[in-house]
Amino acid sequence: MKALDIDAVQAFVLTADLRSFTRAAEAMDSTQSAVSLKVRKLEDGLGRRLLERTPRQVRLSADGSAFLPAARALVAAHAGAMDAFGTMRRRLVIGISHHIVGPDLPLLLRRVGENGRGITLEVRVAPSREILDAFDRGELDAAIVLRHDSRRLDGEVIHEETFGWMAAQDYIHRPGESLRLATQAAPCSVRSMAIDTLDTAGLPWTEVFIGGGVNTIGAAVAAGLAVAALSRRVAPAGTFDVGAQLGLPALPSRTVVLHANATDADARGTLQALGAAIRASAKGQRGA
């Protein structure tokens, strides 16, 4: 058997994790066809089909599942070998809106870690408004936020984040009752979006829980106390969108945007990997 091509192994690991040749190509700063070819050559060399390809999705085969842990270890060992001479590490400070990261944060950090050789990563999670303010003050190398208005129209569009009226399975809403809401304290742009949507539709609402962040809002929703406007990415497991069931108006989507002033190759590669992971995670949340 020929020696394994480390780039091909990395392409396989990325494609397996991101469930997409396109997203893997973004993370590797390559093209979909080039990544697909690398994986195909790896499969040919191993004599095994590692990925099952359909028009809608890419998933691991049985042989791919068996090979993935060893492939990860090989990629990590290669990265360790490349760092053997103690190259200077670069600190990269990224701010991310807490309406964007949720249970998928470990996957996002894995992608950044595997692609951020030589990077010491500092991540700050806060409301989009605070993240943008910190970026404008020069405290952050990059900001990933929801675009709520025309304050900034620059930046790289990552994807469109969708929102739903999320509630627990046992949430009870009685006819004629004001909608019980869990929100974040003002000023929160998602709170304003939800309230404006209800007011425009002429639907009564009552804030019954005000949280100090998305995690606390999610806890209130999971406990059955209220409904909250949340992206499916951050909604707690076991909750679902009750908008259609309760006759609530659809919530608008928001563009997820990357603002960056980091120009070195390592930083750009790390941000590309993070953007690709966010896109892949969003696709998984939509069930596509």
Give the pLDDT confidence of 261-284 residue by residue, as tens digits: 876 777 888 888 888 878 877 665
Q: How confident is the prediction for the chain on average, in pLDDT?
A: 84
Average pLDDT over residues 135-158: 87
Q: Do domains 6-82 and 90-160+254-286 have the same CATH topology?
A: no
| 3 state DSSP class of 60 | strand
Q: Where is pLDDT greater, at 68 or 86?
A: 68
> Each residue of 159-217: pLDDT tens digit?
889 999 999 998 988 888 999 999 988 788 899 999 999 999 999 999 999 988 888 99
Residue-level pLDDT at 288: 32
Return the CATH superfamily for domain 163-246. Periplasmic binding protein-like II (3.40.190.10)
Average pLDDT over residues 22-45: 86
- Say how far apart CA 15 and CA 22 lie, in whole Å: 8
Q: Output the DSSP codes for 22-47.
A: HHHHHHHTS-HHHHHHHHHHHHHHHT
Number of neighbours of residue 88 by Cβ within 10 angstroms: 5
Average pLDDT over residues 147-166: 86
Domain range annotation of the chain: 6-82, 90-160+254-286, 163-246
- Say how far apart CA 213 and CA 184 lie, in whole Å: 6
**Residue 155: CB partners within 8 Å, gap ≥ 6?**
147, 257, 258, 259, 260
Residue-level pLDDT at 287: 39
> Each residue of 77-136: pLDDT tens digit?
877 776 666 555 678 888 998 888 776 677 677 766 665 556 788 888 888 889 999 999
Residue-level pLDDT at 283: 62
Q: What CATH number has the domain spanning 6-82?
A: 1.10.10.10
Fold assignment, 90-160+254-286: D-Maltodextrin-Binding Protein; domain 2 (3.40.190)
Cα–chain center distance at 108: 6
Q: Which of 153, 161, 144 is nearest to 271 (CA)?
A: 144
Cα–chain center distance at 48: 31
